[in-house]
Chains A and B, each alone.
Chain A
Amino acid sequence: MENKETLLPEKSIPSSEVSLRKAFLEFTDDDVAVLESVNEAATHYADSVIDDFYKHLLSFDETRSFFADPAVLSHVRNMQKAYFKRLTQGNYDAEYVADRIKIGRIHERIGLPVKSYFGMYCFYLRAVLKRLRDEYKEMPEKAYNIFDSLMKLTFFDIGLAIDTYIESREETIQGQEEAIRELSTPVLLLRPGLLLLPIIGLIDTRRARQLTEQLLRSVRANRAMVVVIDVTGVPSVDTKVANHLVQTVEAAGLMGAVSIVTGIAPDIAQTMVRLGIDLRRIRTVGDLQSGIEEAERLLGYSVVKNSDATSRCGKDGP
């Protein structure tokens, strides 16, 4: 079993991972002590660093736009101040990690691009470096040590925040993909009791599951007795897809609905048979139109054409 870890209660990054990262950054208890030792000085110049920071941010259109709302700006500013002070308060534990993750999520949510995020950190570190140089003019070695420790911690923070940044993005994208998928596979109610599921495009396992789920819920909601599944628009049908199809048909069957699969091209049918799929388990009809007619027959409908109906619709007339 490869590195599965038990989740911390707040669903944060596992403690072993945290230790790994600190080790990789060579961030040790000595660094913690160094940072704690400058806490007083840091608190002292926190305000001026933050002010410079925001002056810089607001001087660029791009970043200013993210903090257009004064309430947001003031809130974020206070959070930044707290963050700055926190950097030298020691105790960089689970709670600290959870906090950094939260910050990453917030920045992602307001849509701040990663480049701006990194740019901000850069400005930040440089601002501190400048002050350290001034503060410890007589003891450059000390300034160096402090900055060294701070850099490790800052990069630890960046790592955490960017991770969750990416995670949030992925969740958003997944949600959008989900929505797109649902839109692109509508289950249509053709007649009372008759559902049509036209499938277009390639089907992977995920999409197949989603299609099946949608179809089955629709069977229940519409009390469908016949389902026509049209695969004319599916370019290729391999074993997996064929199996999904069979499963869908069987599941609909368990809910009392009969399925008719239309649009299986002859060569695909041949492939399916060769792959060992028992086509007797699904009712197939060549084309969609015949499939629908068959479905209507099953439901007791018969389609009659009125004798005086026009054979062509349109401005040209019959």
Chain B
Amino acid sequence: MNRSRAPILKLGDTLIASVQEALMDADLVGLRDELVAEVKTYRATSVIIDVTVLDVLDSFAARTLRHIAQMTQLLGARTVVVGIQPDVAFAMVQLGLTLEGTETALDLEDALSLLNIKIGRERGAH
């Protein structure tokens, strides 16, 4: 994967992957592998993936994001996806994609407070 497309920053125990431009499938898969590797290496407890820049999140992207959340969870980390834009969110639900079980937040700031302070806003919680 081209690292410049989605650089991963480390903030304490948190990894932040910030997507810079449209990702091809290979990039997404690469991002997944990189994040999993780094969670292992740094024993990260949280992962934030910022997709603000993406104008389309199709079934493959949604699936991959879910996989990232599932795989990192097995390694003891919590993943939050942030930055899904209104149009993208709308297209996703029309398509039937729900990122079931994966936490989401509006932006980086909200994700950080979500990870520090739990106020019962987990995706899927009723």
Contact = CB atoms under 8 A, between A and B. Distances in A.
In the complex, A touching B, CB below 8 Å?
A: yes
Interface of A: 209, 212-213, 216-217, 219-220, 223-225, 247-248, 250-258, 280, 283, 298-300
Contacts of A209: 90
B26 interface: no
Given A283-B126, A298-B120, A251 B105 contact: no
Given A219-B106, A251-B90, A251-B92, 5 more contacts: A247-B94, A255-B84, A255-B89, A258-B121, A298-B120
Contact of A220 (B86, B105, B114, B120): B86
A225 B109 CA distance: 12
Interface centre among B86, B90, B104, B114 (most CB of A within 10 A): B86
Given A219-B106, A283-B126, A300-B119, A254 B84 contact: yes
Contacts of B114: 256
B96 to A, nearest CB: 9
Contact of B92 (A225, A254, A299): A254
Contacts of A225: 106, 110, 121
B93 interface: yes
Interface centre among A209, A213, A255 (most CB of B within 10 A): A255
A216 B126 contact: no
Contact of A213 (B86, B92, B98, B106): B86
B82 interface: yes
Contacts of A248: 93
Contact of B86 (A216, A223, A283): A216
B123 interface: yes
Given A216-B86, A255-B86, A223 B123 contact: no
A241 to B, nearest CB: 15
B101 to A, nearest CB: 12
B86 A219 contact: yes
A298 B120 CA distance: 8
B120 A223 contact: no
B17 interface: no
A192 to B, nearest CB: 13
B119 A256 contact: no
Contacts of A224: 106
3 closest A-B pairs by beta carbon, nearest first, are A216-B86, A256-B105, A251-B89
A41 B10 CA distance: 85
Given A213-B86, A283-B126, A256 B93 contact: no
B99 interface: yes
A251 B92 CA distance: 8
Interface string B68-100: 000000000000001011111110111000110
Contacts of B90: 209, 212-213, 216, 247, 251
B123 A253 contact: yes
Nearest to B117: A300
A125 to B, nearest CB: 52
22 contacts: A209-B90, A212-B90, A213-B90, A216-B86, A216-B87, A223-B106, A224-B106, A247-B94, A250-B93, A250-B98, A254-B88, A254-B89, A254-B93, A254-B98, A254-B104, A255-B86, A255-B89, A256-B82, A256-B105, A258-B121, A299-B119, A300-B119
Contacts of B126: 280, 283
B21 to A, nearest CB: 21
Contact of A256 (B85, B88, B106, B120): B106
B113 to A, nearest CB: 10
Contacts of B110: 223, 225, 256
